[in-house]
Amino acid sequence: MARRRSEMLTDVELEFMIALWEIGTGSVRDIMGALDGEHQRAYTSVATVMKILDDKGFVTSDRKDRALVYSPAVEKGDYEGRSLKNLSKTLFGGTPTALVARLVDNEDLTDEMIQEIKEIIDTRIRKDDG
């Protein structure tokens, strides 16, 4: 516990959290196995970062016969929200509309995607009304 300077993860921390969110819960070895495998890292490197994540409060740990089993203390959706808020704040003046505007003027966004996005918005509007 303790530490928690920033509410945002560093690059490597995020990579490991993604692995943990993927598997739900797991030991250092499990997490190492769930990593993208691009980079190849020492067991102790993963263990060290997991401990840091524990210190920062992003995960919790439980001992299961000798080994630590980690679980997310922050949900992925929660962190996604944080990331969006963070990006919105730094680059879009805190207005999500500006963010969406930039998103949809991306050329390689297919018609289907746009349509899907429209449906998401419409659903949300209907939910508010109802």
DSSP β-bridge partners for residue 67:
64
Q: Which is nearer to a second copy, 67 or 84 (CB)?
A: 84
Binding region for a second copy (CB under 8 A): 14, 18, 76-77, 79-81, 83-85, 87, 90-92, 95-97, 99-106, 109, 111, 113-118, 120-122, 124-125, 128
Binding region for DNA (CB under 7 A): 5-6, 10-13, 27-29, 39, 41-45, 47-49, 51-52, 65-68
